[in-house]
Amino acid sequence: MEKDKVPQDEGITAGISREVQYAINKDGKYEKVLSKGWEPKNIVNELAWKDIQEDIDLADEKIKSGKASPIMHYMAKTLMNITLLADYIELPKWKVKRHLKPKGFKKLKQEQLENYAKVFEISVDELLNFKP
């Protein structure tokens, strides 16, 4: 790619950083050029986040219909699955699965609630009072 063709499409990194792109200058030599972004990258990144939003919406529906606990919302929001969440909470997966149900959630002790809240970077109140 030639230096003057390095795309400068503002998008996902706007206002935060520019990224290094290797490109050929007028003398035919490679150099590092800073790029503001590229539209195809914006498209695929947005798509990935749209899927995450759908996961959150799905979790919220389950919570509304009484099939899931607030943990499911925050798990989706922090882009985790059960394996990763169990890893952070330092509990076996089957226990986390239980806490994802309203019944198991109600039985959580203060200490465990604090643990979840800490991992999700929210307060215990926010976790307990979450309404989708």
d(CA 12, CA 10): 7
Give the DSSP per-residue string, 3-62. Answer: GGGS-B---TTTTT--EEEEEE-TTS-EEEEEE-B-HHHHHHHHHHHHHHHHHHHHHHHH
Residue from the set 3, 9, 13, 102 that interacts with other proteins by CB under 8 A: 13
Q: How far is the CB of 57 from other proteins (least distance, A)?
A: 14
Q: How far is the CB of 27 from other proteins (least distance, A)?
A: 11
Other beta carbons within 10 angstroms of residue 89's beta carbon come to 19
Residue from the set 84, 95, 103, 107 that interacts with other proteins by CB under 8 A: 84
> Which range in 22-30, 65-73, 94-102, 104-112 contacts other proteins by CB under 8 A?
22-30
> Which range in 58-66, 67-75, 76-84, 102-110 contacts other proteins by CB under 8 A?
76-84
